[in-house]
Structure 1
Amino acid sequence: MPQYLKDDKNLLSPTGRIKHAAQIMSNTRPPRNAWDPNNDFPSGLNDIINKGLSFFKKPSADGNPRNIFIIIVLLLLGVAAWSSIYTIPSDSVAVVQRFGKYLKEVPSGLHLKLPFGIDSALIVPVKRQLKQEFGFKTPGATDPYQSAPGNNGHQETQMVTGDLNAALVEWVVQYRVSDPSKFLFEVRNPSQTLRYVSESVMREVVGDRTVDEVITIGRQEIESEALIKMQTLSTKYAMGISIDQVQLKNINPPRPVQESFNEVNQAQQEKEKLINEARRDYNKVIPLALGEKDQRIREADGYRLKRINEAEGDVARFNALLTEYSKAPQVTRRRIYLETMEKVLPNIKSKVIIDTATNNILPLLNLDSGSITMKQGAQK
């Protein structure tokens, strides 16, 4: 080590060496490349520069490495790179905040942000259908607001109907995050607020109906009305939530009267069954009888029209013959006779033709039919 370094104890520290080097450089010519072998720096300055470069390479007297500064710089660079890169799943978007203030929304994929907590990204699942359960719990659920905390699930189901009866109502609300900025910043704990809104609306809707409607025939109307009212309140409170479906699960009376209600339900179901069977028989027999009635009426109308047309045709034919007969009686009489015989004779199997001029005839034996047939001609 040079003598001037030994004489000055301040030069033994890194800070002292840097100050001493700056003082020397201020009294010399403009700085040059310290690594140029042709430079003409003073030998003392070269020693200082070389000592400064090797300071971080050699271990200190207590064994600690001198390159701790380089390690810290590398760590800071690694932390900066790690904190500036983030990935968003395909079913989500990220809400970016800068120093806690809303900045923008970014879609799914790989993105960059300012490191060291300057920018922060909150991932919101906007394409995933979320649900809240009332009165029961699904094992393995990761959402803390999916079911009631503690043992409050049984209290949520206890409701009073419009006819002052009690009922245990279980239902499910399925929803999506439609506006991430409103979901995060407009309402505190929007999922918990949705539970309060859903419970309030369901109690209102159930309280407008009788217990029979709630348990039996009014389920679909309750679901539709509750869905509309929940969506209206969610929009009014700017929760950034879209209600997809409200589905009723189990609706039971209180346990002390549950058996009696089950018997009433069974009797009502039996009643509905008998009514449906009677309607089935009615729909099977009545249309058949109506069809037969229409068929008989059409047949009677057809026969009536047939007889009327035949009578009118016979009258018209007789009038036409009478007209022709009045013009030529002999000719018409003979033509009628011939036409009549033309129709009658083909229907007679056995024919006996006798000359009218014959005075005596012999009896004829009809061997075909097994009887004797005898015909005589009329005398003029």
Structure 2
Amino acid sequence: MAWNEPGNNGKNNDPWKQGGRNQGPPDLDEVFRNLGKKFGGIFGGKGGNSGSSSGGGGSALFGVILVVAILVWGLSGFYTIKDAERGVVLRFGQYHTEVGAGIHWKPTFIDTVTPVNTQEVRSLRADGFMLTQDQNLVRVTFEVQYRIFNARQYLFSVVDADRSLREATDAALRFVIGHSIMDDVLTRGREVVRQNTRQELESVITPYNMGIALVDVNFRDARPPEEVREAFDDAISAQEDQERFVQEAQAYAREIEPRARGQVNRVMQEAEAYKQQIVLKAQGEVARFEQLLPQYLAAPKVTRDRMYLETMEYVYGNTSKILVDVKNSNNLMYLPLDQLMKQGAAAAPSASPSSSPARVNMDGINTQPRTDSTRGTSTRSGSGR
């Protein structure tokens, strides 16, 4: 049985009336009336007149709504432009100005702001089958990297700048491929195709003033049809091997040439040193002869005998043979031949290879320098015995 139906034994089952008080839901008219009384003094109304309380409450409510709307409208106008962006401001749909990075305010419903990133490097690809000049079909993949440098031109010069750039890239690439032969596109002429495509693309987009600057144009790939793919792969491999061999030969030449120049310089320096050595040696012999000549003129026989002995000393000093006069000697002599042979073998490498036999001029005059006195003494003593 409901709380408001008869037959409930006179009990008050109203949930809003407990304890003898009316706790029902608040009346909306009364709420607005109370708000009107409170704000009536603010907007010039008087709350004591009950006949005008309804009109005063309505004007107060309108004022509150107006104030809130103004606050919301003012706060909604704040916006932020990032460091890499430029904000293009449109006033009633027409270009007004541009703003930089930071916090800005705009009148809502009057101005609209479109942020444009002017530092980001964007990229797009052009891919498809294209016909070369020699009537061959190739699949070419190109990548274009670009950056926006003018936000106003990027938004308003053409309807869609990105789409226009993609179509211009496809047109420029097809034009360049159509004027190139297949071997150049697949092997050795890729760099030329890339440069020509960039030049053609720049010439196409420049008149439109799209506010776009090309950063780089990359030739990603160029593949022949599947039927001849293996043959062209072999051709590309041979071309790469040829370039590699040429580079290796150039590197070898750069390595060998300095070494050969160094050897040439060394030989020339050795020859110059040998020349100076021979000249100085000849000058020394001339000087020695000039010093010996006065002595020979003063005592020819003594000088001749002395020079003969010195020459024989020099000759016998370089041999392992020993002269012994055993005719007039009764003593048993022991000759250590093994030691003498070792000494002779050790002395042979130390002798100068350029040494020559003693030169005897002017009737047996020796012009060679004297050797070691000890060795000469032993030779003379042996020959004396």
- Does residue 1:205 correspond to 2:208, yes or no? no
Alignment of 1:54-133 (within 5 A): 54-55=57-58, 67=61, 69=62, 72-73=65-66, 76-77=69-70, 79-115=72-108, 117-133=109-125
Gap change, CA 1:54 and 1:181, over 3 Å in 2: closer
- Secondary structure, counterpart of 1:133 in structure 2: strand
Greater Cα offset, 311-320 or 292-301: 292-301
Shift of 1:196: 2.0
How far does residue 332 in structure 1 lie from its aligned partner after superposition?
Answer: 5.7
Residue 367 (str. 1) matches residue 334 (str. 2)? yes
Query: 8 Å contact 1:234–1:240 — kept in the other structure?
Result: no
Unaligned runs of 5+ in 2: 1-39, 339-378
Could you list the per-position Cα deviations for residues 299-335 of structure 1 after superposition, in whole angstroms to 9, with x for gaps in the alignment? 5565455445433432343234224533565786688
TM-score normalized by the length of structure 2: 0.61
How far apart are residue 84 of structure 1 and its match? 1.1
CA distance in 1 between partners of 2:166 and 2:235 (Å): 33
Assess if the C-alpha contact under 8 Å between 1:201 and 1:229 holds in 2. yes
Paired AA for residue 91 in structure 1: A
What CA distance in whole angstroms lies between the structure 1 residues aligned with 2:47 and 2:221? 92
Q: Report deviation, 1:343.
A: 7.4
User: Do the aligned residues in 1 keep the contact of 2:187 with 2:239 (CA within 8 Å)?
Assistant: no
User: Which is worse superposed, 305-314 or 103-112?
Assistant: 305-314
- Structure 2 residue 238 is the aligned partner of structure 1 residue 246: no
Deviations 1:18-64 (A, max 9, x none): xxxxxxxxxxxxxxxx959xxxx9x999555544323468xxxxxxx
Match of 1:217 in 2: 188
5 Å matches for 1:306-321? 306-321=277-292
CA RMSD of aligned residues (A): 4.5
The alpha carbon displacement at 1:219 in A equals 2.3
Structure-2 separation of matches of 1:376 and 1:193: 115
* Counterpart amino acid of residue 53 in structure 1: G
Percent of aligned positions that are identical: 31
In the superposition, the TM-score normalised over structure 1's length comes to 0.62
For residues 151-170 of structure 1, the aligned pairs below 5 Å read: 157-170=128-141
Distance in 2 (CA, whole Å) between partners of 1:298 and 1:93 is 72
Letter in 1 for 2:153: K
Mapped to 1, the partners of 2:228 and 2:382 lie a distance apart of 105
Task: Provide the aligned length of Structure 1 versus Structure 2.
Answer: 302
Indicate how the Cα distance of structure 1 residues 192 and 324 shifts in structure 2: closer, same or farther if over 3 A, else same.
Answer: farther
1:81 Cα shift?
2.8
User: Are the equivalent residues in 2 in contact too, given 1:169–1:251 (CA < 8 A)?
Assistant: yes
User: Displacement of 1:185 after TM fit?
Assistant: 1.8
CA contact (8 A) 2:134 2:181 kept: yes
CA contact (8 A) 1:234 1:242 kept: no
Number of the residue aligned with 1:227: 198
Q: What is the CA-CA distance between 1:291 and the residue it aligns to? A: 6.4
- Partner of residue 11, structure 2: none
Tell me how far 1:187 sits from its aligned partner: 2.4
Structure 1 residues 312 and 123, CA gap change in structure 2 (3 angstroms):
same
Query: Within 2, Cα distance between the matches of 1:267 and 1:35?
Result: 97
Alignment gaps of 5+ in structure 1: 1-33, 58-66, 136-156, 355-359
> In structure 2, what is the Cα distance between the partners aligned to 1:51 and 1:283?
105
